[in-house]
Structure 1
Amino acid sequence: MSQVLYTVLVALVALERLAELVVAKRNLAHSLAHGGRETGFGHYPAMVALHTGLLAGCLLEVWLADRPFVPALGWVMLVVVVASQALRWWCIRTLGPLWNTRIVVVPGADRVTGGPYRFFSHPNYVAVVAEGFALPLVHTAWVTAVVFTVLNAVLLRVRIRSENHALTEAYA
C-alpha cells in the first residue's frame, strides 16, 4: 500500500468520524429534548484532541519517517480497522438515538443490553482500542500506535469510570 493510498484510508476514517459527530449532534439534541443530562464532560476536549492526534500522527509518521508498508502486518491491521468500524456502527445502531460521543443519560430510558452490549459493557471502546492500535500499524506507524494506545488507556480509565457512574445513578 503506497503512502497515498494510506492517506486515502486515513481520510476515509476521518470522514467516518465526521459522520459520527453528525449522528452524535442529532442524538444529543434528541436526548436533551427528552430530559437527558450530560455528565463527565471535563475529559471530552482531551478525547477530541487525542482522536484528532491519532489521525494526524498516522499521516505525519508515515510521510515524515517514511514508514514502509509491510504486507503481513498491514493487511491484517486493515482487517482489524474495518472490523472496528463495523463494531462501532453496530453500537450506534443498537443504541439508536441514545448513542453519543458524550455521556448523556436520559431518564426513563431502558438500559440497552442487546446487540454488542450482550457481550461487553462498553463495546464501542473495544472498537476504539482496536482501531487506535491497528490504523497506524496498517503502514507501520508504530510510534503513533504506542502513543495513542497508552494515552487512550489513561483517557478510557476516566471515561469508563464517568460513564459507569452515570449509568449506575440512572439505573440504580
Structure 2
Amino acid sequence: MTTWIWVFIGAVICQRLIELIIARRNESWMLRHGAEERGAEHHKWFVLVHASFFISMIAECLVRNNPVESINYFLFAIFILTQLARIWCITSLGRFWNTKVIILPGAKLRTSGPYNYVKHPNYIIVGIELFVIPLLVGAPLTAVIFPFLHIFLLIHWRLPIEDKALATIGSMKKG
C-alpha cells in the first residue's frame, strides 16, 4: 500500500479514538447527572462491526495488493463533507452526543443543527463513510459489506431502542 493510504487510515482511526474519548466524557457527565443507558446489550455489536471494518479494510488492501496511487478527489470531497457533518452533529448535541443510547431525565430533546432536518443524521453519515472510506483506499468488498451490516444493526436494534428512549424524554422526571 502506498504511504498516503496508511496515513489516511491511521488518521481515521485516530479520529474515531478521539470520538470515543468524547463519548466517554459525555457518558460520565450524563451518568453523574442521573442519566440512564438504554439497550446496553446491543452496543457491543456496533463496537465489533466498527473494529472489524478497519481490520477488513486493511486486510483487503494488503491481500489485493492493488495500491491506489492517487486520491479520488470526488470520493475524498464526500469524505470531507461527512467529517464536517459529523462535527456538526457532535457540536449540536454537545454533552448529549454519545455512541450509546443514554437518556437524561429532564433534558429537552435536541433539535438544533442537522437534527433540525433529519432525526438521526449521524447514522446516515456513518453509512456513507463505511462506503466511501474503503473505496478511497481500494477495498471495494469492505465498501459493500459494512454499510449493510451498519443498516442491519440500525434497523434491528439501535433505532427501535433509541426511538423508544427518545420518546420518553418528555415524560421523564429528573430526580
Give TM-score scaled by structure 1 length.
0.93
Which 5+ residue runs of structure 2 have no aligned equivalent?
none
Alignment-derived partner of residue 91 in structure 1: 89
Alpha-carbon distance between aligned partners in 1 of 2:113 and 2:166, rounded to the nearest angstrom: 18
Contact 1:70 1:139 in 2 (8 A): no
Alignment-derived partner of residue 125 in structure 1: 123
Aligned-pair Cα RMSD in Å: 1.6
Contact 1:39 1:162 in 2 (8 A): yes
Give TM-score scaled by structure 2 length.
0.91
Contact 2:89 2:114 in 1 (8 A): yes
Alpha-carbon distance between aligned partners in 1 of 2:69 and 2:74, rounded to the nearest angstrom: 10
Alignment-derived partner of residue 164 in structure 2: 165
Alignment-derived partner of residue 102 in structure 2: 104
Alpha-carbon distance between aligned partners in 1 of 2:114 and 2:154, rounded to the nearest angstrom: 18
- Give the 5 Å matches for 1:56-71: 56-69=55-68
| 1:4 is the counterpart of 2:3 | yes
Give me the identity figure in percent.
34
Q: CA deviation at 1:77?
A: 1.6
- Give the 5 Å matches for 1:120-159: 120-157=118-155, 158-159=157-158
State the SS of the aligned residue for 1:108: coil
Tell me the alpha carbon deviations over residues 43-87 of structure 1, each in whole angstroms, 9 at most, x when there is no partner.
11110111111112221111211234286x832222222211111
- Comparing 56-65 and 30-39, the one that deviates more: 56-65
Alpha-carbon distance between aligned partners in 2 of 1:86 and 1:22, rounded to the nearest angstrom: 19
Alpha-carbon distance between aligned partners in 1 of 2:149 and 2:127, rounded to the nearest angstrom: 11
Which 5+ residue runs of structure 1 have no aligned equivalent?
none
- Comparing 153-162 and 129-138, the one that deviates more: 153-162
- Comparing 77-86 and 25-34, the one that deviates more: 77-86
Which of structure 1's runs of 4+ aligned residues deviate more than 3 A?
Answer: none
Alignment-derived partner of residue 37 in structure 2: 38
